[in-house]
Amino acid sequence: MRLVDRQTVARAIVAVVLTAAFAAQTVAALRPHVPLLIISTAASLAVEGFLSRWQRDMVTVLAKLHADLTVRHVLRDLLLVVGLLRLGGQDRETQYAPLVAGLLVFYALHCAIQAVSVLVRRTRTLPVVTRNIDASALRLSPAPPVLLRRPGHRLLVFGLPSTAGLLATAASGATEYAALGIALSLGLALMGLCDLLPRLLPSRRPAGEQEVLDWFDAWLAEYRPTVGLYFSGGVSSAYQANMWLEPLAGLDGRPLIVLRERFMVHKLAPTDIPVVCLPRVADLMRLEHSTLQVLIHPSNSGKTSQVLRIPTIKHTFVNHGESDKLSSCNPYAKAYDEVWVAGPAARERYALAEVGVEDKDVVETGRPQLDAVRPYAGPPTGPYTTVLYAPTWEGWDGNPGNTSVIEAGENLVRALLADPAVRLLYKPHPLTGSVDARAGAADLRIREVIRAANRERAGQRPARGGELALRTAELDRLTADSCRPGADHVERMMLQTAPRPGRAEEVARATAAWEEAFWASLPEGEHQIVTAERPVLYSCFNRADLLVSDVSSVIGDFLASGKPYAVANTSGLAEDAFRTAFPTASAATVLTPDAAGVPRLLDAVRHPERDELRAARAELKLRLLGPADPPSQMRFNKAVQDLCSAARTHRGRMAARLTAEIPGQRGTLLDRHRA
C-alpha cells in the first residue's frame, strides 16, 4: 500500500473511531449503560491525545467542520452528566445539581480566560518586532504559559480532572469523585485567570504603540543603516532570505534586515545583523526618513510593491537562485532600479526575454554564498558513488518540464538504486506537492522506495553517534531563538536586552562541526532522505560525486564545484531542442524519463577519462557564475557601494529641488508641502 494511502487511511480511522466513540457514549448515556459509557469516554479522550500529538492536520479539519476541541469536550461532559442523571433517577437530580452548577462555572471561567488572554495578546502585539537590537526600553516580559494561550489545549488539560471525576462517579455511584474532579478543574481555571489578569495592569504592559514607534525612529537615527535585505514570504520560503545573510554580513556599511511577517523573525537563520519586522505599511514608510540607501530583494512578493514606493531608497533584485525557467526573468524585475545577476548568462537571458529590463540596469555580481561549495577533487575513491537527486517543485504554470518528480522521479531513483555501488541522497524541494498533488504523491512513493532499499542494505552505524548528539545539543543551544515556532506576538528575541556580536560566527563553526559529525554518524552506504533544516543543500553538494536535478537554480549553484551533473528532460522536447531551450543543460548529461542513461552516466563519473563534458562545465561555470577573480563577495560589495552612491546623489537632487525657490512665487516646494 502506498504511503499516501496509509496516511489517508490513518486519518479516516481516527475520524471513524472518534465518531464511533461519541455515538457509543450517546447510546450509553441514554440507555444508560455504565461500562459502555466509561469505555467510549476513555476512547474519545485517547483519540484527543493522539490528535494533538500526531494528527494536528486533523485538528484543523475538525475545527473547520465546527467540531473543534471545545465543542467535543463540552459534548463529552454533557453526555456524562446525562448518563449520571439517567442512572440516578429523579431522587438524585438534586444531588447532582451542585455538580452541574460547578461544571457550568468551570466553562464560564474557561471563556473568561479566553477573553482575558485575547486582551493580553493585544496589549503585547507591538507594531515593530526586532532581533539583535536592545529593546529593553519597551518593558517586555515573557509570554503567558502555553496553556493560557491555546484554548483547546487548556480545556483538554484543565477539564481532564472533571471528566475523570464524572467517570469515577458513573462507575461507583459516589458523587464525591465528581465533586473532587470539578473542584480541581475550577482551581486550575482560577489559577490561570489569576495569572492573566495582572498582565492587564498598566505597570505590567509593554510600551504602547506610539512609544514603540518613537523608540524605533530613535534607534534608526542612532544605528544609521545604509543597506538592507527586504523579505516577505510564506513559512516555506525562509531559505530564500537565509542564503543571503552571510553575503549581507560581509558588506561594508551598516546592514539591516527588513521583514514583513512576524513568524519570519523566528524562521530567519542565526545572524548578527539587526532585524526589524514591520507588518503594517504605515510603519514601513518610516524607512523613508532613515539613512537607508539600498534595499536588496531576494524574491518577489505581493508586499514588495509597498516598499518600492519609497523614493529615497534604491532597490535591487538579486533573486534566490537563477535558472533557465521563465520565473528567472520575471517582468516584475523591471520595477527595480537594478537587477543583480551571477554572470553573463543571466544578462543574456533578460535580453532575450524582452521583459523590460534594460541591459544598463543589469549588474553581474557572482554568487557570493557559493564560497561554501568545495571544488571538484576527482572521481569517487571509496566503495560508493554518492549521487544527489535534488529535483525542483512543480511551479505555478503547470509546465510538465518544471519537475521530474512526477514523470521520471521513481524511474531515476530505481535506476540509481539498481547500482549496488551507489549511495543516494534525495533532497526534494520544500514546496513539492504544494500545487500539484501528483508531485506530492510521487515524492512519497520515492521516499518509500529509498526506505525499502535501505532495509535491504542494513549497515553498521559508526560509533560516533555520541559526538553527533553533543554537536546537535550545542547547535540547538546556539540557535534556540531562531528557526523555532513563535510562542507569542512579542517575539522571544526581543527579550534579549542586548545583541550578541560574534554569534553568527559561533553558529557557523558549530554548524560545520555538526555537519562533519552527521555525515560520520551514518553507515557508509546508507541512502538518505534529506528534508530537515540540516544538513543544508551546499553540505549535500560537498558530499555528492554527481548531481541529478531539473532545470533550476540548483544546477547553477552546483556548477561552482565543477562536478558532473545530469538534468532530467520531462519537457517532451528532443535532446538538441532541450539543450537549446535550456542553456544550463549544455554541459549536462540529459536523462530521459525512463532513466535509460543512468548506467552510462555513472560510468563516466567513476572514470574521468570518459567524462566528455568537463571542459564544457568549466566554460558554462564562467558564463553562469562569472569570473573567480575578483571574488563574488568583493563584486557584490562594489555593486552595493555603487548603488548607495547613486541613492545619495538622487537624495541630493531631491533635496535641491525641494529647497529651490519656485519661479514667480514666494517660498519653496518644501514650504508648500509643509503647508
Q: Which residue has the higher pLDDT, 231 or 148?
A: 231
Per-residue pLDDT at 481 exceeds 70:
no
Query: What is residue 668's DSSP assignment?
Result: B
pLDDT grade for 30, boundaries at 50, 70 and 90 = confident
* Amino acid at site 480: A
Q: Which of 90-99, 151-160, 486-495, 661-670 has the highest mean pLDDT?
A: 151-160
What is the third-level CATH fold of 224-366? Rossmann fold (3.40.50)
pLDDT grade for 620, boundaries at 50, 70 and 90 = very high
For 478, the grid coordinates are: 546556539
Q: Which uninterrupted H or E stretch holds 364?
A: strand 362-364
For 221, the grid coordinates are: 537615527
Per-residue pLDDT at 81 exceeds 70:
yes
Q: Supply the pLDDT for residue 675.
A: 52
Query: What is the SS3 string spanning 258-317?
Result: EECCCCHHHHCCCCCCCEEECCCHHHHHHHHHCCCCEEEECCCCCCHHHHCCCCCCEEEE
d(CA 88, CA 85): 5
Q: Supply the pLDDT for residue 7.
A: 63
Helices (H), 544-668: 553-558, 575-581, 598-606, 614-625, 632-659
* Amino acid at site 124: R
Query: What is residue 494's DSSP assignment?
Result: G
List Cβ neighbours of 388 (8 Å cut-off, separation of 6 or more): 425, 427, 540, 541, 543, 544, 546, 547, 548
Q: Supply the pLDDT for residue 293.
A: 96
Q: Which uninterrupted H or E stretch holds 548?
A: strand 546-549
Q: Supply the pLDDT for residue 186.
A: 94
Q: Which uninterrupted H or E stretch holds 363?
A: strand 362-364
Q: Beta 275-277 vs 129-131: how paired, if at all?
A: antiparallel
Per-residue pLDDT at 592 exceeds 70:
yes
> Which strand ranges, in their side-by-side order, compose the sheet holding 227-231?
129-131, 275-277, 255-259, 227-231, 294-297, 314-317, 338-341, 362-364
The reported pTM is 0.79
Per-residue pLDDT at 68 exceeds 70:
yes
For 311, the grid coordinates are: 523614493
Q: Supply the pLDDT for residue 464.
A: 60
Question: Out of 300-314, 481-495, 527-541, 620-634, which region has the weakest mean confidence (pLDDT)?
Answer: 481-495
pLDDT grade for 664, boundaries at 50, 70 and 90 = low
Average pLDDT of the chain? 86
For 460-478, what is each residue's pLDDT tens digit?
A: 666 666 788 888 888 887 7
Q: Is 227 helix (H, G, I), strand (E, B) or coil?
A: strand
Positions of CATH 3.40.50.2000 in the chain: 383-460+526-625
For 22, the grid coordinates are: 461519541
Best CA proximity match to 273, nearest among 292, 288, 251: 251
Per-residue pLDDT at 483 exceeds 60:
no
CB neighbour class for 668 (10 Å; exposed up to 12, middle 13-18, buried from 19): middle
pLDDT grade for 482, boundaries at 50, 70 and 90 = very low
Would you tell me how many other CB atoms lie within 10 Å of the CB of residue 125?
A: 15
* Amino acid at site 312: T
DSSP letters for 319-359: -S---SSGGGG-GGGGGSSEEEESSHHHHHHHHHHTSS--G
Distance of CA 405 to the CA centre of its chain: 22
Q: Supply the pLDDT for residue 90.
A: 57
Q: Beta 565-568 vs 314-317: how paired, if at all?
A: unpaired
Positions of CATH 3.40.50.11720 in the chain: 224-366
Q: Which uninterrupted H or E stretch holds 75?
A: helix 69-88
| Integer CA distances (angstroms), 405 to 400, 452, 561, 575, 591, in order | 10, 18, 24, 19, 13
d(CA 270, CA 246): 10
Mean pLDDT calculated for residue range 135-164: 84
Share of residues in the chain with pLDDT > 90 (%): 42
Question: Out of 147-161, 201-215, 458-472, 589-603, which region has the weakest mean confidence (pLDDT)?
Answer: 458-472
Cβ(257)–Cβ(274) below 8 Å:
yes
- Whose cell is 502585539? That residue is 125
d(CA 674, CA 28): 76
For 438, the grid coordinates are: 501528483
Q: Supply the pLDDT for residue 500.
A: 64
Q: Supply the pLDDT for residue 353.
A: 81
d(CA 506, CA 484): 19
For 324-342, what is each residue's pLDDT tens digit?
A: 666 677 888 889 999 999 9
Cβ(332)–Cβ(350) below 8 Å:
no
Question: Out of 124-128, 154-158, 464-468, which region has the weakest mean confidence (pLDDT)?
Answer: 464-468
Per-residue pLDDT at 115 exceeds 70:
yes
Cβ(537)–Cβ(554) below 8 Å:
yes
Cβ(106)–Cβ(162) below 8 Å:
yes
Q: Supply the pLDDT for residue 3.
A: 43
For 256, the grid coordinates are: 539591516
Per-residue pLDDT at 165 exceeds 50:
yes
List Cβ neighbours of 125 (8 Å cut-off, separation of 6 or more): 489, 490
Q: Supply the pLDDT for residue 52.
A: 75
CATH classification (class only), 383-460+526-625 = alpha beta
Q: Supply the pLDDT for residue 15.
A: 81
pLDDT grade for 386, boundaries at 50, 70 and 90 = very high
Q: Which residue has the higher pLDDT, 632 or 323?
A: 632
d(CA 569, CA 579): 10
> Which strand ranges, in their side-by-side order, compose the sheet holding 385-390?
528-529, 422-426, 385-390, 546-549, 565-568, 589-591
